[in-house]
Amino acid sequence: MTSPPAIEAVNLVKRFGDKLAVDDVSFVVPQGTVLGLLGPNGAGKTTTVRMMTTLSPPTSGTARVAGHDIRTDPDGVRRSMGLTGQAATVDELLTGLENLRLIGSLYGINPRQLRRIANELLERFSLSDAGDKVVKSYSGGMRRRLDLAVSLIAVPPVLFLDEPTTGLDPRSRLELWEVLRGLVDDGTTLLLTTQYLEEADRLADEIVVIDHGRVIAAGTPLQLKDASGQAALVVTVSNAADIDLAAQLLRDANVEAHVDAAARQLTAHAGGLSDMTRIAGEFERAGIEVDDIGLKRPSLDDVFLALTGRRAEEDADATDTDTEPEGAHR
Amino acid sequence: MTAVTQSAAVAKPAADKPTIVNTGLLRQSLVMVRRNLTHIKRQPEMLLDVTIQPVMFVLLFAYVFGGSIQTGGTSYREWLLPGIMGQTMAFASFVVAIGLTNDLGKGIIDRFRSLPMHQAAVLVGRSLAGLLHSSIGIVVMAVTGLAIGWRIRGSAIDAVAAFGLLLLFGFAMVWVGILVGSKMRSVEAVNGVMFTTMFPLTFVANTFAPAEAMTPWLRRIAEWNPISALVQAVRQLWGNVDGAAPGSAWPLRHAPWMSMGWSLLIIAIVAPIALRAYRKRTAD
């Protein structure tokens, strides 16, 4: 028996006035996996998450979370998921523990169980010592961890994270990644939006790239890198004297090579592994000895540049401070 | 069958999984009220507007203007007190608006909206907390009043009815607060709107000085001001006035019913608009 997907977006559309914020977005997230929703600021990531978490009704299309339809069973969706929004959604005037208890009581979890889970979460997120301190005194990283802990108070099988590390310093970011990996190990399904390619690359099993509200690419990080077709073949010949012959061989194979004579290195565009083995074979037949032959895959940054014509993090700085979620704009 | 097994398929042991129970609107609203009370505990200065501020108003008006304001057979201090209570209730809208704008700006409303709970609990809790806040003001006012010579001279039933009218008006003003809080994007904006509307509204009335002494057009406005009806009703029910001044307008001659009517009318008109504004603000 194949288990049903944890999250399913089916032709989601959201229109604000005459602006199409989300345009026919569909994807599937299998249980226990991580989907990265990647896109620049204003691409429609937050609006997509808001629709899937029942905060904003879709103009058309639907989504299912743990089998519950957002249109027909929003309460079922809310019972099955936790949400960590873009702006930290904890109460600054309450302590960490009080925040956990507030949300836990609203879930109707019985007090004894609630106390136990709250304490476990505080410990797990290294907040035990800060549990009785008012959140106002927390650092940015602590707030994000508490926010995440609050989202997990009912132990939901599915967790939505909207730009979980935006605005965090590199160390806090690494810590949070560690925590998220731990959740996945426990079987939680994650959907996270991010503008950071590195984050998607590190955490996600599957990536959906959206831009201007549309899905422009989808696949594993590896598939995306391959699909961008910009893998580079890098050959280092053993004898400097062979380098011209090597370049000629590549030209004969219809591959334009960049020659770096000093380093005895040739760099050429290659489609993938098959190109590399073919060229390696020709070098061998021609008797050219090579020190090294390898395929340099493009980073997700390169992929993004190829897909959208611009860098992903160009306008990332604007969102580092807590701006309004994109969905709030009209 | 698949729908049942899929959540069980998650790796966490079943014993760890807490049961989610919908505890109903009332209990969830009370959780919200408790949250607001904790806010007051952490920031006691939130109570200034229902403690020091109205006491200051009482003392300023009673001792600075008191001598020059004619209130018929009743002493000005006794006459003034229901006026200040009326003003305190009008400002219930202020507290609610500030609290709501704060929550909306910080995104915690989104957190509540993502929970399997009664969504009305957010607003009901906020309203109850707002009324509680203003009630503290009423108690503080009553104690201050007793100290400077104010007394309840009517029957117990009338006295309770007067408190009831104050609370009903406070509830109407809570809806005004929800409307303003949903529309405004910052606490500063709320302050601006509230100060520029609430002060004229509470001053162009019989709260601090009798409307009879005002120029005719202003007097007309004051007499039809919902706060005047409330304050006149409370004065009558507590026996802090001889009755409506001769020649005063119809609303003041039927003040208790008029006040109830005004409050219900405000609720009937503002509540649906406020709910729509709140939904519009939160849903997109």
On whether the CB atoms of residues A319 and A195 are closer than 8 A, the answer is: yes
Closest-CA distance of chain B to residue A143, Å: 13
On whether the CB atoms of residues B20 and B116 are closer than 8 A, the answer is: yes
Quote the CA–CA distance of B100 and B125 in Å, as a whole number: 11
Per-residue pLDDT at B145 exceeds 80: yes
Per-residue pLDDT at A321 exceeds 60: no
Of B9, B16, B116, which has the smallest distance from its Cβ to A75's Cβ? B116
Closest-CA distance of chain A to residue B275, Å: 16
- Contact yes or no for A54 and B114 at CB 8 A: yes
Quote the CA–CA distance of A246 and A202 in Å, as a whole number: 37
User: Number of Cβ pairs closer than 8 Å across A and B?
Assistant: 132
On whether the CB atoms of residues A168 and A194 are closer than 8 A, the answer is: no
On whether the CB atoms of residues B152 and B237 are closer than 8 A, the answer is: no
Please tell me whether residue B132 adopts helix, strand or coil conformation: helix
Quote the CA–CA distance of B281 and B284 in Å, as a whole number: 7
Residue A4 tokens read as 């049903």
Residue B38 forms contact with A (CB below 8 Å): yes
* CB under 8 A, 24+ apart: contacts of A287-290: A288/A237, A288/A242, A288/A245, A288/A246, A288/A249, A289/A237, A289/A238, A289/A239, A289/A242, A290/A235, A290/A236, A290/A237, A290/A238
Quote the CA–CA distance of B267 and B261 in Å, as a whole number: 10
Residue B168 tokens read as 């009903």
Neighbours of B69 (CB within 10 A): 15
Closest-CA distance of chain A to residue B33, Å: 11
- The domain locations on chain B are 26-66+73-283
What ipTM did this prediction achieve?
0.84
Q: How many residues does chain B have?
A: 284
Neighbours of B272 (CB within 10 A): 11
- Contact yes or no for B107 and A105 at CB 8 A: no
Least confident of A111-120, A317-326, B25-34: A317-326
pLDDT of residue B105: 87
**pLDDT bucket at A94, cuts 50 / 70 / 90:** very high
What tens digit of pLDDT does each residue of A226-261 get?
Answer: 776 667 788 888 888 888 888 888 888 777 778 888
Please tell me whether residue A262 adopts helix, strand or coil conformation: helix
B102 to chain A: closest CA residue: A91
pLDDT of residue B106: 85
Domains and CATH numbers, chain A: 7-226+309-328 (3.40.50.300), 231-297 (3.30.70.100)
More confident residue, A296 or A25: A25
* Neighboring chain B residues of A185 at a CB cutoff of 8 Å: 11
Of B5, B43, B116, which has the smallest distance from its Cβ to A79's Cβ? B116
Of A85, A90, A108, which has the smallest distance from its Cβ to B23's Cβ? A108
Residue B107 forms contact with A (CB below 8 Å): yes
State chain A's mean pLDDT as an integer.
86
Please tell me whether residue B281 adopts helix, strand or coil conformation: helix
* Neighboring chain A residues of B282 at a CB cutoff of 8 Å: 55
- Contact yes or no for A106 and B10 at CB 8 A: no
What tens digit of pLDDT does each residue of A277-309 get?
Answer: 888 888 888 888 888 888 777 777 777 777 777
